[in-house]
Homo-oligomer: A and B are copies of this chain.
Amino acid sequence: MSPGSGPHTAERRGRPRDSGTDSAIIETVLRLMEEGATIGALSIERIARETGVGKATVYRRWSGKDALLVDVMKSLEETAPPLKGESVRNDLVSCLEFARRRGLAKRSSAVLRNVLGQIHSNPGLWGQYQETVIATRREAMHEVLRRGVHTGEIRPGVDLDLLSDLFTGPLLARAVLRPDGSLEEGLQEGLSEQIVDTVLAGVAPPPVAGG
């Protein structure tokens, strides 16, 4: 074994995997993606070199770039802050603010772009992105929307799938179609509130006559 090929070549057997090295490799991929690299164009060799480890060290952990991308995706997962559960309107604003801050992060959008670029060569990757990232957020929002129907803030019979796209779509449009910072402009401070209030106004129950 050549000297300098990494701290664990000699001590691998019987020892737990060094999670510091895992994180260092994932960090390298995130940095390179942020700088504009696509996972398709990155070689394991370059990833290893930029991390300062040997190629074998990477291959011992991941079978290839797609498997590595899955862990890169997971590394970005933050737990959404708990919702207050008082007003449906305010909880929706919190969901959108969480999504907006996420969309602001260069890392998340670089990962999204990379996943979208790799879908065709690995449809399973898309499934994992759905499960890891999208499904969880979607379910959190659906729960708030069901509560809104229950409390009477949203009229019954509204398609909740469409409703959640109405809330998140504008943020996505700004993140994907105008990647020039339209989510961060000072002007956009009240963006989430504006979206929630406009959409909620359209799905409120009709005013009760008489009163």
Contact = CB atoms under 8 A, between A and B. Distances in A.
Interface of A: 35-38, 40-41, 113-114, 116-117, 119-121, 126, 134, 158-159, 162-163, 165-166, 168-174, 176-177, 179, 191, 194-195, 198-203
Contact of A179 (B37, B119, B169): B119
Q: How many copies does the complex hold?
A: 2
A113 B119 CA distance: 10
Given A168-B173, A173-B172, A162 B116 contact: no
A125 to B, nearest CB: 12
Contact of A200 (B121, B176, B179, B202): B202
Contacts of A40: 38, 40-41
Contact of A168 (B119, B162, B169, B195): B169
Chain A to chain B: the 8 pairs with minimum beta-carbon distance, closest first: A169-B169, A36-B120, A202-B202, A165-B170, A201-B202, A169-B170, A165-B173, A169-B173
Given A38-B117, A198-B199, A199-B199, 14 more contacts: A36-B119, A40-B41, A113-B116, A119-B179, A162-B191, A162-B194, A166-B169, A166-B170, A168-B169, A169-B171, A172-B173, A200-B202, A201-B202, A201-B203
A127 B113 CA distance: 17
A166 B38 contact: no
